[in-house]
Amino acid sequence: MPDTSDHTVPVLAIDGPSGSGKGTISRRVASHLGWHYLDSGALYRAVGVAAGWADLDLDDAGALVRCAFDTEIRFREAADGELRVLLNGHDATDELRTETAGAAASAIAAIPEVRAALRDRQRAFRQPPGLVADGRDMGTVIFPDARWKVFLTASAEERAERRYKQLKDKGVSVTLDGLLREILARDARDASRPVAPLRPAEDAVRIDTTGMPIDAVVARVLELTSQ
Protein backbone atom coordinates (compact mmCIF):
# COMPACT_ATOMS: atom_id res chain seq x y z
CA MET A 1 0.00 0.00 0.00
CA PRO A 2 1.45 3.43 -0.88
CA ASP A 3 2.51 5.80 1.88
CA THR A 4 -0.14 8.52 1.85
CA SER A 5 1.23 10.46 4.84
CA ASP A 6 2.28 14.09 4.40
CA HIS A 7 5.98 13.99 3.48
CA THR A 8 6.41 17.71 4.08
CA VAL A 9 6.00 17.11 7.84
CA PRO A 10 9.47 16.68 9.41
CA VAL A 11 10.25 13.43 11.22
CA LEU A 12 12.99 12.74 13.74
CA ALA A 13 13.50 8.95 13.87
CA ILE A 14 15.03 7.57 17.07
CA ASP A 15 15.83 3.86 16.92
CA GLY A 16 17.75 1.52 19.18
CA PRO A 17 17.51 -1.55 21.41
CA SER A 18 15.38 -1.71 24.55
CA GLY A 19 16.91 0.14 27.48
CA SER A 20 18.93 2.49 25.27
CA GLY A 21 16.94 5.40 26.69
CA LYS A 22 14.92 5.90 23.50
CA GLY A 23 11.56 6.35 25.21
CA THR A 24 12.61 8.95 27.77
CA ILE A 25 14.77 10.84 25.31
CA SER A 26 12.20 10.81 22.50
CA ARG A 27 9.44 12.07 24.81
CA ARG A 28 11.62 14.88 26.15
CA VAL A 29 12.75 15.94 22.68
CA ALA A 30 9.15 15.84 21.36
CA SER A 31 7.92 17.95 24.25
CA HIS A 32 10.79 20.44 23.79
CA LEU A 33 10.02 20.80 20.06
CA GLY A 34 6.23 20.75 20.61
CA TRP A 35 5.97 17.82 18.17
CA HIS A 36 3.88 14.66 18.18
CA TYR A 37 5.37 11.50 19.62
CA LEU A 38 5.04 7.93 18.35
CA ASP A 39 5.93 5.08 20.71
CA SER A 40 5.90 2.32 18.07
CA GLY A 41 6.92 -0.34 20.60
CA ALA A 42 3.65 0.36 22.44
CA LEU A 43 1.73 -0.64 19.29
CA TYR A 44 3.51 -4.00 19.15
CA ARG A 45 3.02 -4.44 22.89
CA ALA A 46 -0.66 -3.52 22.48
CA VAL A 47 -1.20 -6.22 19.88
CA GLY A 48 0.67 -8.69 22.12
CA VAL A 49 -1.56 -7.83 25.10
CA ALA A 50 -4.78 -7.85 23.03
CA ALA A 51 -3.76 -11.24 21.62
CA GLY A 52 -3.31 -12.48 25.20
CA TRP A 53 -6.76 -11.19 26.20
CA ALA A 54 -8.27 -13.03 23.23
CA ASP A 55 -6.24 -16.16 24.05
CA LEU A 56 -4.69 -16.19 20.57
CA ASP A 57 -1.85 -18.49 19.66
CA LEU A 58 1.34 -16.41 19.08
CA ASP A 59 2.08 -18.67 16.07
CA ASP A 60 -1.25 -17.96 14.39
CA ALA A 61 -0.20 -15.17 12.00
CA GLY A 62 -3.69 -14.79 10.48
CA ALA A 63 -5.38 -14.27 13.85
CA LEU A 64 -2.63 -11.86 14.96
CA VAL A 65 -3.00 -9.77 11.80
CA ARG A 66 -6.76 -9.53 12.37
CA CYS A 67 -6.02 -8.55 15.96
CA ALA A 68 -3.54 -5.86 14.75
CA PHE A 69 -6.20 -4.40 12.44
CA ASP A 70 -9.16 -4.71 14.80
CA THR A 71 -7.73 -3.60 18.14
CA GLU A 72 -8.52 0.01 18.86
CA ILE A 73 -5.34 1.59 20.25
CA ARG A 74 -5.50 5.14 21.58
CA PHE A 75 -2.88 7.24 23.34
CA ARG A 76 -4.05 9.78 25.86
CA GLU A 77 -1.98 12.22 27.89
CA ALA A 78 -2.99 12.05 31.56
CA ALA A 79 -3.15 15.13 33.83
CA ASP A 80 0.35 14.32 35.18
CA GLY A 81 1.72 14.35 31.61
CA GLU A 82 2.06 10.56 31.49
CA LEU A 83 1.02 8.87 28.26
CA ARG A 84 -1.74 6.32 28.89
CA VAL A 85 -2.59 3.63 26.33
CA LEU A 86 -6.19 2.54 25.87
CA LEU A 87 -6.88 -0.84 24.23
CA ASN A 88 -10.47 -1.16 23.04
CA GLY A 89 -11.29 1.54 25.60
CA HIS A 90 -9.49 -0.15 28.55
CA ASP A 91 -6.45 1.50 30.13
CA ALA A 92 -3.71 -1.11 29.57
CA THR A 93 -0.69 1.14 30.25
CA ASP A 94 0.66 -0.88 33.20
CA GLU A 95 0.10 -4.23 31.52
CA LEU A 96 1.90 -2.99 28.40
CA ARG A 97 5.07 -2.33 30.40
CA THR A 98 5.45 -5.86 31.78
CA GLU A 99 8.20 -8.20 30.60
CA THR A 100 5.47 -10.61 29.43
CA ALA A 101 4.04 -7.95 27.11
CA GLY A 102 7.57 -7.12 25.89
CA ALA A 103 8.30 -10.74 25.09
CA ALA A 104 4.93 -11.15 23.28
CA ALA A 105 5.64 -7.95 21.32
CA SER A 106 9.07 -9.17 20.31
CA ALA A 107 7.61 -12.50 19.11
CA ILE A 108 4.77 -11.00 17.06
CA ALA A 109 7.05 -8.25 15.72
CA ALA A 110 8.93 -10.98 13.83
CA ILE A 111 5.81 -11.72 11.72
CA PRO A 112 5.97 -9.69 8.46
CA GLU A 113 2.16 -9.49 8.08
CA VAL A 114 1.80 -8.02 11.58
CA ARG A 115 4.46 -5.40 10.79
CA ALA A 116 2.63 -4.56 7.55
CA ALA A 117 -0.67 -4.28 9.43
CA LEU A 118 0.86 -1.69 11.78
CA ARG A 119 2.68 0.31 9.08
CA ASP A 120 -0.10 2.76 8.16
CA ARG A 121 -1.08 3.23 11.79
CA GLN A 122 2.45 4.41 12.47
CA ARG A 123 2.61 6.70 9.44
CA ALA A 124 -0.68 8.31 10.47
CA PHE A 125 1.20 9.91 13.39
CA ARG A 126 3.06 12.12 10.91
CA GLN A 127 1.12 15.30 11.57
CA PRO A 128 2.17 18.98 11.64
CA PRO A 129 4.24 20.52 13.08
CA GLY A 130 6.45 17.39 13.27
CA LEU A 131 6.92 13.90 14.68
CA VAL A 132 9.45 12.23 16.93
CA ALA A 133 9.17 8.49 16.17
CA ASP A 134 10.70 6.00 18.58
CA GLY A 135 11.29 2.35 17.67
CA ARG A 136 13.46 -0.17 15.88
CA ASP A 137 12.79 0.55 12.20
CA MET A 138 11.63 4.17 12.17
CA GLY A 139 14.59 5.36 10.09
CA THR A 140 14.90 2.24 7.94
CA VAL A 141 11.33 1.19 7.07
CA ILE A 142 8.53 3.39 8.40
CA PHE A 143 10.01 6.86 7.76
CA PRO A 144 12.96 6.29 5.41
CA ASP A 145 12.74 9.97 4.41
CA ALA A 146 12.99 11.18 8.05
CA ARG A 147 14.88 14.47 8.19
CA TRP A 148 17.04 13.27 11.08
CA LYS A 149 17.86 9.70 12.13
CA VAL A 150 19.39 8.80 15.45
CA PHE A 151 20.47 5.34 16.61
CA LEU A 152 20.90 5.10 20.38
CA THR A 153 22.89 2.33 21.98
CA ALA A 154 24.20 1.48 25.45
CA SER A 155 26.02 -1.55 26.78
CA ALA A 156 23.74 -4.50 27.64
CA GLU A 157 24.96 -4.31 31.27
CA GLU A 158 23.95 -0.67 31.59
CA ARG A 159 20.59 -1.29 29.93
CA ALA A 160 19.92 -4.15 32.36
CA GLU A 161 20.84 -1.90 35.28
CA ARG A 162 18.53 0.90 34.09
CA ARG A 163 15.66 -1.57 33.75
CA TYR A 164 16.48 -3.09 37.15
CA LYS A 165 16.25 0.32 38.83
CA GLN A 166 12.97 1.14 37.06
CA LEU A 167 11.38 -2.15 38.13
CA LYS A 168 12.74 -1.96 41.67
CA ASP A 169 11.27 1.53 42.03
CA LYS A 170 7.93 0.04 41.03
CA GLY A 171 8.32 -2.70 43.65
CA VAL A 172 8.72 -5.48 41.06
CA SER A 173 11.15 -8.15 42.22
CA VAL A 174 13.63 -9.21 39.51
CA THR A 175 17.31 -10.13 39.40
CA LEU A 176 19.93 -8.18 37.48
CA ASP A 177 21.27 -11.41 35.97
CA GLY A 178 17.83 -12.46 34.78
CA LEU A 179 17.22 -9.06 33.19
CA LEU A 180 20.58 -9.12 31.44
CA ARG A 181 19.80 -12.55 30.00
CA GLU A 182 16.37 -11.35 28.81
CA ILE A 183 17.86 -8.23 27.22
CA LEU A 184 20.52 -10.23 25.37
CA ALA A 185 17.91 -12.75 24.15
CA ARG A 186 15.56 -9.96 22.98
CA ASP A 187 18.43 -8.12 21.23
CA ALA A 188 19.41 -11.30 19.40
CA ARG A 189 15.81 -11.97 18.33
CA ASP A 190 15.17 -8.37 17.21
CA ALA A 191 18.49 -8.16 15.32
CA SER A 192 18.30 -11.54 13.60
CA ARG A 193 14.70 -11.56 12.34
CA PRO A 194 14.44 -11.47 8.54
CA VAL A 195 11.97 -8.55 8.44
CA ALA A 196 13.01 -5.11 9.63
CA PRO A 197 15.86 -6.37 11.83
CA LEU A 198 17.20 -3.91 14.38
CA ARG A 199 20.02 -2.07 12.62
CA PRO A 200 20.93 1.59 12.20
CA ALA A 201 19.92 3.32 8.98
CA GLU A 202 22.99 4.10 6.87
CA ASP A 203 22.42 7.81 7.38
CA ALA A 204 21.74 7.56 11.14
CA VAL A 205 23.84 9.38 13.74
CA ARG A 206 24.87 6.86 16.39
CA ILE A 207 24.99 7.91 20.01
CA ASP A 208 26.34 5.54 22.66
CA THR A 209 24.55 6.59 25.85
CA THR A 210 26.59 4.34 28.19
CA GLY A 211 27.50 6.52 31.17
CA MET A 212 25.80 9.59 29.63
CA PRO A 213 23.23 11.53 31.68
CA ILE A 214 19.80 11.81 29.99
CA ASP A 215 20.05 15.61 29.75
CA ALA A 216 23.27 15.33 27.77
CA VAL A 217 21.70 12.91 25.28
CA VAL A 218 18.63 15.16 24.90
CA ALA A 219 20.91 18.17 24.30
CA ARG A 220 22.89 16.25 21.68
CA VAL A 221 19.72 15.19 19.81
CA LEU A 222 18.29 18.74 19.95
CA GLU A 223 21.57 20.06 18.62
CA LEU A 224 21.19 17.73 15.61
CA THR A 225 17.67 18.96 14.88
CA SER A 226 18.84 22.56 14.90
CA GLN A 227 21.22 21.86 12.01
114 Cβ neighbours under 8 A, 6+ residues apart: 44, 47, 61, 64, 65, 68, 108
Closest CB to ligand DC among residues 34, 44:
44
Of the candidate residues 10, 21, 41, 139, the single one contacting ligand DC (CB under 6 A): 41
Among the listed residues 12, 197, 38, the one whose alpha carbon sits nearest the alpha carbon of residue 106: 197
Interacting stretch for ligand DC, rule CB under 6 A, among 2-10, 104-112, 144-152, 201-209?
Answer: 104-112
Closest CB to ligand DC among residues 109, 117:
109
Q: Where are the beta strands (DSSP E) in 26-82?
A: 36-39, 73-77
Of the candidate residues 95, 137, 158, 182, the single one contacting ligand DC (CB under 6 A): 137
Site string for ligand DC, 1-20 (x = CB under 6 A): -----------------x--
Closest CB to ligand DC among residues 33, 198:
198
Closest CB to ligand DC among residues 28, 45:
45
Site string for ligand DC, 60-99 (x = CB under 6 A): ----------------------------------------
Instruction: Tell me: does residue 44 bind ligand DC (CB under 6 A).
Output: yes
Instruction: Tell me: does residue 109 bind ligand DC (CB under 6 A).
Output: yes
- For residues 172 and 89, the answer to whether their CB atoms sit within 8 Å is no
Contacts to ligand DC from residues 144-203, by CB under 6 A: 186, 190
Which residue's CB comes closest to ligand DC? 41
| C-alpha to C-alpha distances, 25 to 32, 63, 167, nearest whole angstrom | 11, 34, 19
Instruction: Tell me: does residue 105 bind ligand DC (CB under 6 A).
Output: yes
- For residues 101 and 30, the answer to whether their CB atoms sit within 8 Å is no
Task: Convert 191-218 to b/e letters by CB count within 10 Å (16 or more is b).
Answer: eebeebebebbeebeebebeeeeeeebb
What SS3 state is found at 196?
A: coil
Of the candidate residues 135, 139, 151, 159, the single one contacting ligand DC (CB under 6 A): 135
What is the enclosing helix (H) or strand (E) of 11? strand 11-15
Residues that bind ligand DC (CB under 6 A): 18, 40-41, 44-45, 102, 105-106, 109, 135-137, 186, 190
